[in-house]
Amino acid sequence: MKKILNICQKDIAVIMRDKGAMVLMLLAPIVLTLAMGAVTGSFSGRQATAGISDVPVMILNLDQGSAGAAIAAMFKSRTDYFNVEEVTDEAAARKAVQDDKVAAAVFVPANFSASIQAESGGTPVEVEVFGSSARPISVDVVQSFVNTIINQIEVIPVSLGVTANQLISSGLITPEQQGTYIEQMASRLMQNPRSSQSIDIRDISETKTEEGFNALAYLAPAMAIFFLMYTVTQASRSILDERDQGTLPRMLISPTRNTEVLGGKVLSVVAIAFLQVGVLVLVSAMLFRLNWGNPLPVLLLVIGVALGASAWGILLASFSKNPYQVTSLGTALMLLFGIMGGAFISVDSFGGVMKLISKITPHAWALDGFETLALGGTLNDIVVDLIGLLVMTVLLFGISIIVSRKRWATGFTR
């Protein structure tokens, strides 16, 4: 273990003396966060355009039934978050979104209620959320709110069906009365949003002020993780650099096992990644007065994303023939993962397939977790994200060792 730590310590010392690397690892993410924060108005005090308090939303309800009315009612009942206007003109609503006069327009189609209550096999109709690209956070929240309402509404006929069966078994209603019972009860439940399970939009408990949610709480981790891929590329590249420079063979000639030498190099990659994200968390908390959330889950998430990203870096080094290949591939991966993983546009804006594909990036899991924690989430709320990152780490590391078995066995000398 001492030798593993010795190697790790040496690698950290070496990379800290690389001014170029330090700029890209620490300075660039902070500068970009600042720039993007300025663009999104996070420093301007116009929190209505940046966050989820007072989010302007238009609702066009074409539904004839109670489900559409329930959606509108639920939005209107949350005056703490939404500033709702009911409209009748779809084209005007879309224009308002495109002109950034509102964050989003919610379109409830005709026959929405009927499609929910229909027998299975009917064609579902969907509620559309048409969002402004300039307000990704707000759109995200509107979409999430709509999804939550719909999930609850869809459950109502099913749960009422179960209740009806029990009433029939008890002889309180007849089978012929079942349909009428479900329709009336569903209508009543949907008309009264308070009678359904309340939808909990978590606030930032400690900083719930007029500011509300700070968009930097998304941007700061996004930029940290975007540049993390550079860091793990450089750190992993050092395995091949040291092979070519002769220091890796020299380590292998010392009375040190291959596993210790390579374990030290792998630990270096993870440690450097952890330090980078950790420093950025601390600096952004101080500079931008960001609340990342509960410290323990934040720490675990930082460890998780460091592991996940490092595993990608190690995979690159395992397959590359020389250090330059690691850098080229790493740069491509950095850009691709940044886009796919939500560093620039939230993955919630993606369609189903792209959203699924984004899960191969450590970004998608980590940003989901950081966003949850910044909104007041707890450790329980990010367990899935942590598991995702851990599975990614184990899988990629396993692939690296299995596919490049000979390389690992000979200490990368072949």
Partner 1 sequence: MSEPILVTKDLKKNYGSNQAVQGVSFSVLNGEIFSLLGPNGAGKTTTISMLSCLLQPSEGDAEIGGHSITKDPMAVKRLIGIVPQELALYDALSATQNLNFWGRMYGLGGQALKARIAEVLDQVSLADRAKEPVGRYSGGMKRRLNIAVGLLHKPKLVFMDEPTVGIDPQSRRSILDMVKALRDEGMTVLYTTHYMEEAAELSDRVGIIDHGKLIALGTQKELTRLVGEQETLRLHFGEDLTGEMAVPAFHTVEGVLLATSTDHEVVLTVPEAAVALPGVIAAATKAGIRVRSVDIEEPNLESVFLHLTGRALRD
Could you tell me the smallest distance in angstroms from the CB atom of residue 290 to partner 1?
A: 33
12 near partner 1, rule: CB under 8 A: no
Number of residues that bind partner 1 (CB under 8 A): 21
Structure token pair of residue 307: 């592991």
Closer to partner 1 by Cβ: residue 61 or 238: 238
Helix orientation angle between 28-39 and 258-287, rounded to the nearest 10 degrees: 40
Residue 123's CB is within 10 A of a number of other CB atoms, namely 7
Stretch touching partner 1 by CB under 8 A, among 37-45, 219-227, 240-248, 333-341: 240-248
Amino acid making up residue 336:
L
H helix runs in 28-81, sequence order: 28-39, 47-50, 66-77
Using alpha carbons, list the distances in angstroms from residue 397 to 39, 256, 373, 401: 38, 22, 28, 6
Report the C-alpha gap between 64 and 288 in whole angstroms. 48
Amino acid making up residue 321:
K
Closer to partner 1 by Cβ: residue 95 or 257: 257
251 near partner 1, rule: CB under 8 A: yes
413 near partner 1, rule: CB under 8 A: yes
> Contacting partner 1 (CB under 8 A), which of 173, 249, 319, 325?
249
Strand ranges across the sheet with 82-86: 82-86, 55-61, 104-108, 128-131
Q: How many CA atoms lie within 13 A of 27 on its CB side?
A: 7
331 near partner 1, rule: CB under 8 A: no
252 near partner 1, rule: CB under 8 A: yes
Could you tell me the smallest distance in angstroms from the CB atom of residue 204 to partner 1?
A: 42
> Contacting partner 1 (CB under 8 A), which of 1, 13, 91, 286?
13
> Contacting partner 1 (CB under 8 A), which of 3, 76, 78, 355?
3
17 near partner 1, rule: CB under 8 A: yes
Closer to partner 1 by Cβ: residue 6 or 325: 6
Could you tell me the smallest distance in angstroms from the CB atom of residue 245 to partner 1?
A: 7
Q: Name the nearest CA neighbour of 344 among 20, 35, 21, 22.
A: 35
Closer to partner 1 by Cβ: residue 2 or 194: 2
Q: Are 287 and 27 in contact (CB under 8 A)?
A: no
- Strands 128-131 and 82-86: what pairing? unpaired
Closer to partner 1 by Cβ: residue 14 or 401: 14
Could you tell me the smallest distance in angstroms from the CB atom of residue 251 to partner 1?
A: 6
Using alpha carbons, list the distances in angstroms from residue 275 to 18, 164, 262, 272, 283: 15, 58, 20, 5, 12
Q: Are 305 and 225 in contact (CB under 8 A)?
A: yes
24 near partner 1, rule: CB under 8 A: no
Closer to partner 1 by Cβ: residue 3 or 355: 3
100 near partner 1, rule: CB under 8 A: no
165 near partner 1, rule: CB under 8 A: no
> Contacting partner 1 (CB under 8 A), which of 33, 209, 247, 265?
247
Closer to partner 1 by Cβ: residue 239 or 309: 239
Q: Are 376 and 212 in contact (CB under 8 A)?
A: no
Q: Is 120 helix (H, G, I), strand (E, B) or coil?
A: coil
Closer to partner 1 by Cβ: residue 1 or 91: 1
Stretch touching partner 1 by CB under 8 A, among 2-10, 53-61, 104-112, 184-192: 2-10
Q: Are 392 and 362 in contact (CB under 8 A)?
A: yes
Report the C-alpha gap between 408 and 258 in whole angstroms. 8
Closer to partner 1 by Cβ: residue 112 or 412: 412
Please provide residue 61's backbone torsions phi and psi, each rounded to the nearest 5 degrees.
-110, 110
Closer to partner 1 by Cβ: residue 238 or 276: 238
Stretch touching partner 1 by CB under 8 A, among 166-174, 242-250, 316-324, 330-338: 242-250
> Contacting partner 1 (CB under 8 A), which of 64, 133, 191, 254?
254
Q: Are 278 and 12 in contact (CB under 8 A)?
A: no
406 near partner 1, rule: CB under 8 A: no
In the complex, the residues that contact partner 1 under the rule CB under 8 A are 2-3, 6, 10, 13-14, 17-18, 245-247, 249-257, 413
